[in-house]
Amino acid sequence: MPEWMMNVTSSEVDPTVTTLGLRLVLAWLCGMVVAWIARSRRPAGEPDTLSLTLILMSILIAMATQIIGDNIARAFSLVGALSIVRFRTAVPATRDVAFVLAAVVAGMAVGAGQYWVVGLGLSVVAVATFLNSSKPPSGKTESNKGEKKAKAWRLTLQVGLSATEGWESELSRFAESYELLSAETTRRGAAMEMLYRVTPSADSNAVEMIAALNSVPNVESVTAKVT
């Protein structure tokens, strides 16, 4: 077995820079395999937002494992750092979760004094992001700049906990499409707050939509923001 392969497969806590780089590249390749498997089972026409996330997560977990090594204190520190990262609103894309994790892992590497880990790790993350970013469909190119693209709205609804329906019919009336991003209880479980991504129809008016939603029984408040 070649010496470089023996170094990669060894379990030493403080590897050389070359071994560290090889491990990160190997994690990248493993992430690409997982992304390929996931992409092969994806329904046709559905946007590919997960592949890059899977690749980056493989690299970042390899970085985190190298940072922790056999240090139990660092393992608990990483758990504590990740517990700080809580999204009060839904993350627009899965890849954003990977970039947040990248910032956490990079900060931990710097704090632990492992500068080679953060340097090589972020370099591999940057190259992987550049090479594995999804390309727009062939029918949608720069030549379509003249077409007006509808801006999406982030709609926050607060409803009574017993409410289960009524507002979606109003959403269908004002929107071409809508997607539920998150749902959580508020006011100590007395109400529920839901976040939607709404693509409004051409003649929709935010004021009219908010007024219509407010008239639905059990809807307590409505907030709409353009993304």
Is the pLDDT at 42 greater than 50? The verdict is yes
Label each residue of 106-172 as H, E or C: HHHHHHCCCHHHHHHHHHHHHHHHHHHCCCCCCCCCHHHHHCCCCCCEEEEEEEECCCCCCHHHHHH
Quickly state the pLDDT bin for 183 (edges 50, 70, 90). Answer: confident
Q: Decide: pTM greater than 0.85.
A: no
Greatest mean pLDDT range, 30-34, 41-45, 94-98, 140-144: 30-34
Return d(Cα 63, Cα 25) in angstroms, integer: 11
Dump pLDDT digits (tens) for 157-176: 888 877 667 788 888 888 88
Q: What is the pLDDT of residue 134?
A: 62
Query: Given a cut of 50, is residue 226 above it in pLDDT?
Result: yes
For the chain, the first-to-last Cα distance in angstroms comes to 54
> From the DSSP assignment, how many helices (H) and strands (E) are in the chain?
8, 4
Q: Which helix (H) or strand (E) holds 72?
A: helix 72-84
7-17 pLDDT, tens digit per residue, is 444 445 556 77
Domains and CATH numbers, the chain: 3-132 (no CATH), 150-226 (3.30.70.60)
How many Å is the Cα radius of gyration of the chain?
Answer: 23
Rounded Cα distance between 133 and 49, Å, is: 9
d(CA 159, CA 54): 35
Is the pLDDT assigned to residue 119 strictly greater than 80?
Answer: yes
